[in-house]
Structure 1
Amino acid sequence: MPATFQLSKNPAVNVVVSHRADGDFNSDVVLNIVLQQRRRKLVDLPWTQLSEVHGLTSQWVNRPGEFDGETGDILGTAEIGAVLGVWVGDCAPVLLIGKHSIVAAHAGWKGLRDGVLDSAAAFMSEHGDQVIEGFVGPHIQQCCYEFGEQDLEIMVERFGKTARGCDRQGRPALDVAACIRQFFNANKVPWLESGECTGCLSDKYFSHRIRGERERHIVGVWRTS
């Protein structure tokens, strides 16, 4: 059974998070017809799910289902009934909620380093809205995310010392959640986060980093009014 959420600042926005039992949503390997069936089982509305490349390319959906399968890591829409999907294994699915629009971002460490969240917020601003709330779905937490010292220093320089964590063995780790919190705090925006670790919860989520799995779960967000 997938998990569902409603956000307090804009109750017209709904969020669904798939679990392992809902199937694989890796659009690189799953047949499109199967992908469509699985997505419709979660939310029976048109979906847009990008081919994610850890970049900053954005697509604005003006009609439900537009740009499905196109390349990018940031999706936005003001349309009612248009589901934006972010598929992840260990990266963070981050949702930005506006007064009349939504933006979804695929935020891995490279995307965070390169400013994917700032780009997502600017994308919403370009379309005449501002972020009033955020949502962070399940992703790998510091307990499972041993990280190379050189790249970790880059992240600490960008996000501050809280980006530096340690895993269960006491080794240097990246605290992705802390990096995302820094973004929301800097923008004075409240947010909701699941706090779940894709590495730890093998019964619920897929993990490339911990278990070498190619399968992916998905987070969908849409407006009902």
Structure 2
Amino acid sequence: MKSIFTNRIGGYSTGVYESLNLGLHVGDEPTTVNRNRATLTEKYGPIQFMDQIHGNTVVSIKNVQEVLPPCDALVTNQPGIALAVQTADCIPLLLRSEGVVAAVHVGRKGLMNSIALRAVSSMRDLGAREITGLLGPSICGRCYEVSQEVSDEIIAVHPTAKAHTTSGTPSLNLSRALIVELQNIGVDATDVGVCTQENLEYYSYRRSGVTGRQAGIISL
């Protein structure tokens, strides 16, 4: 079983996408993005990427496909297939169990859509028992400033998401809320504790606007 969280170092993209941009949808040259992706394929074998839409769709795959329906979680029980989730502030969640793995895209909408819970359910349908999770680099509660209205909406469902910026304005700690949500269904998860907005080695939509995408990748 292998897993990694990439950063923006070690690729071929230039400008605002420098350098290991893995996102084909952000305005970077497709040939360059595919070259960046190929550097990871050399290490991890065939990689399945998603067309992420902040929804609640989970797709279970048995082989890498050029075209998938839009989704925000991938699950497989097939060795030799790497699953990838792209982010630039949202949480890349990697789930693992004996014989089953998943890659999940969890942002504010994904948390409200219970995408992680749906991914765990799909893993259990494939026979997963002891599932653990790892949350990759994402925007932290000090930086993820939101309006009071958005804060109220989220914490009504996920009270542990409540946070404040260093200046005292409302913000969200999505990682903390996600860990609690997973613990409530018997999944132990840990956070690598790296903030994408604070750390310049990572792409951050909040910090830069037009930017690239890093990825969380997992395989059996």
Tell whether the 8 Å contact from 1:18 to 1:42 is kept in structure 2 after alignment: no
In structure 2, the residue matched to 1:164 is 162
Tell whether the 8 Å contact from 1:134 to 1:191 is kept in structure 2 after alignment: yes
Secondary structure of 2:207's counterpart equals: helix
Secondary structure of 2:137's counterpart equals: coil
User: What is the distance in 2 between the residues matched to 1:131 and 1:104?
Assistant: 16
Q: Percent identity?
A: 24
Tell whether the 8 Å contact from 2:137 to 2:192 is kept in structure 1 after alignment: yes
In structure 2, runs of 5+ residues without a counterpart are: 11-19
Deviations along 1:76-127, one digit per CA (max 9) or x if unpaired, are: 1111110100000000011111221001110010010111111111111222
TM-aligned CA deviation for residue 131 of structure 1: 4.8
Deviations along 1:49-75, one digit per CA (max 9) or x if unpaired, are: 011110112221102x22555421110
TM-aligned CA deviation for residue 32 of structure 1: 4.9
What is the letter of the counterpart of residue 170 of structure 2?
A: P
User: What is the distance in 2 between the residues matched to 1:43 and 1:195?
Assistant: 26
Aligned equivalent of 1:210, options 204, 207, 210 = 207
In structure 2, the residue matched to 1:82 is 81
Report the TM-score when normalising by structure 2: 0.88
User: What is the distance in 2 between the residues matched to 1:210 and 1:33?
Assistant: 26
Compare 180-189 and 84-93 and name the one that shifted more.
180-189
1:135-146 to 2 correspondences below 5 Å: 135-146=134-145
In structure 1, the residue matched to 2:178 is 180
Pairing 1:199–2:197 present: yes
Report the TM-score when normalising by structure 1: 0.86
In structure 1, runs of 5+ residues without a counterpart are: 1-12
In structure 2, the residue matched to 1:6 is none
User: What is the distance in 2 between the residues matched to 1:177 and 1:46?
Assistant: 29
Secondary structure of 1:144's counterpart equals: coil
What is the letter of the counterpart of residue 57 of structure 1?
A: T
Pairing 1:132–2:131 present: yes
User: What is the distance in 2 between the residues matched to 1:68 and 1:31?
Assistant: 19
What is the letter of the counterpart of residue 207 of structure 2?
A: I
User: Number of aligned pairs?
Assistant: 208
Compare 144-153 and 39-48 and name the one that shifted more.
39-48
Secondary structure of 2:142's counterpart equals: helix
In structure 1, the residue matched to 2:15 is none
